[in-house]
Structure 1
């Protein structure tokens, strides 16, 4: 890379508008450079965010069978990030089987479960390959399979113009760069992730990267979800997280207007400082909530272990059932019987015992095809 002057946040120019045939598209400034700033608040937020992230990550070492609970973090992220894009699936629905939902809810459910599959496959991929545009394309392909958007080039960067807001290019709220620039801009972004010749803290890099990704909008659909997932993949890839335990979509959804305003302020008035502060604040708050969730999980698990210990001969089956419920807190009597290798009658008796002990709730009120929820656990993931 040629030696280029560092970019100062205070002097940053976000890009320029380029005249296309009947509209103007935004050409963002490339970001694979060294970055400097004078605002001391950024240093303070950066220190707090780094500490909060390290404390959250420590929980993944001390929580037994942590991967069970990570699956619920992933379910929550998939549900929340998809909801920002307009899906209506609730958390209790997300942990059910598609066949247990009314037909009109299944399309949204599929989008959420595609997202869960995309996260899980991407995390596995990161164990052998660094974060790359190729990985993002593969993740996008999984996200878009069999849902609305499946006809919008899943797994490929766009080769036509897209826009954000409005019904057409003429009344769009924002028009990303012309498709001829996408490959070059995404190549610059990928180089920025792995450029060891520049001194830029990882949390600053991913803050800038998320802004840049959403500004490039490299796919025809699904950019919001992939861009938010990029944050977690980056943190795992760089070793700031051992497990994918931090997801910012919940913060972004609760502060949706502020989130979009912060991104827009960069493009319209070059205010990268406001965006970076917003992003670091999101990390601090979300990591803090994540720690509280893990503490609640540990307390609940200890309570459950003590309770199940008194189940005598059924204790072992109850423990197996609980492990399954920690990763997906809803189950039918048929599924429980199959999981445990016991009769439907024995499985129902165990589930009924757990209802009596206020561990599970039966939600259908039916005599047959009953569904049981581990609501005390599920509510830890619902704000």
Structure 2
């Protein structure tokens, strides 16, 4: 099988009628979601668990098995033994790469250099770190069954001799204005996977690009869009539609699939974000009235940011003094707001869970 030659961007002679029916609803759904995002006073706090869940699901597409609860429990106490340690490290790196990119975009536009720096963070001290971490590949890669030769490959990305030419054209398209931003982000994600510029981590970087691009184009005022739940649920379709681009040049069905993903997840994101916001408002009154503490809102933000936490971590990330922290946790437990996940043992602190928030995120 020969290396694929990517199509020129923008895609010419595309039949927009094939995905026109879903394009309007997808744009309306994401506009409603962005409207809700703008109404949330502290989205980085309230939607923090959704951001972690996105990292969990995007990594799951690539074969990890760790759950949201396992990641949060590990972060509550990194010294405890855990079954999926390497998976959890990959998920945490995903979130770090995303946070780094968001901060970078405040200062400068999207670029190939940004992609390499994200990749370096993603593969730091985890599986794949020895596969040219932070660098574009200079050898031929291919996609197929484990151990398969290139002749048996499902797909062979562009030749390394043409890679920088392909990436330069890709970067220009990132900064171009196509006829519709949602169609453009569908093409941007697919073309990145088609070029497959890294030896490992292409899928995850490609999915991080989705909210980054939507934010860079002001479609979203915050780079918080969670698409991986749909792609993980429809994994075979996801891969088949990507393959149909290289096999048959079928961009229209890929775009239709991706717009459906955006529409579905914009609605799901809206519902979850609204449920989290409503829960926050309910808990604000309850926590203030029950704790009678000047630190009530700090503690509330703390359990929304990290809904699984140890007593020592709670004191650290909220900045609440030790005595007040212990009293607040006791009150929150008595009120049924949080519950014990693991009792304190010896020098190990107790681990708590804010189950109501976890249940919303896992819906």
For the criterion TM > 0.5, the same-fold answer is yes
CA distance in 1 between partners of 2:315 and 2:210 (Å): 39
CA distance in 1 between partners of 2:2 and 2:115 (Å): 27
Relative to the length of structure 1, the TM-score reads 0.88
In structure 1, runs of 5+ residues without a counterpart are 1-22
1:191 correspondence with 2:168: no
Q: Which moved more, 1:89-98 or 1:157-166?
A: 89-98
Partner of 1:373: 353
1:100 deviation in Å? 4.8
What does the per-residue CA deviation read over 1:286-336, in whole Å, with 9 as the maximum and x for residues that have no partner? 00001101210121112101211322533x333211101212212211223
CA distance in 2 between partners of 1:157 and 1:342 (Å): 47
What does the per-residue CA deviation read over 1:191-225, in whole Å, with 9 as the maximum and x for residues that have no partner? 112224xx421111111111111111100000000
Which has the larger Rg?
Answer: 1
Partner of 1:145: 124
Q: 1:221 aligns with which of 200, 210, 218?
A: 200
Q: 1:95 aligns with which of 51, 65, 72?
A: 72
Relative to the length of structure 2, the TM-score reads 0.92
Q: 2:299 aligns with which of 313, 317, 321?
A: 321
- After superposition, the Cα gap between the structure-2 partners of 1:221 and 1:376, relative to the gap in structure 1 and judged at 3 Å, is same
1:73 correspondence with 2:53: no
Partner of 1:16: none
Partner of 1:347: 325
CA distance in 2 between partners of 1:54 and 1:225 (Å): 25
Task: Give the total of aligned pairs.
Answer: 356
Higher relative contact order (CA 8 A, sep 6+): 2
User: Contact 1:32/1:191 (CA < 8 Å) preserved in 2?
Assistant: no
CA distance in 1 between partners of 2:273 and 2:213 (Å): 22
User: Contact 2:291/2:331 (CA < 8 Å) preserved in 1?
Assistant: no
In structure 2, runs of 5+ residues without a counterpart are none
CA distance in 2 between partners of 1:141 and 1:63 (Å): 32
Partner of 2:137: 158
- After superposition, the Cα gap between the structure-2 partners of 1:323 and 1:219, relative to the gap in structure 1 and judged at 3 Å, is same
1:156 deviation in Å? 1.1
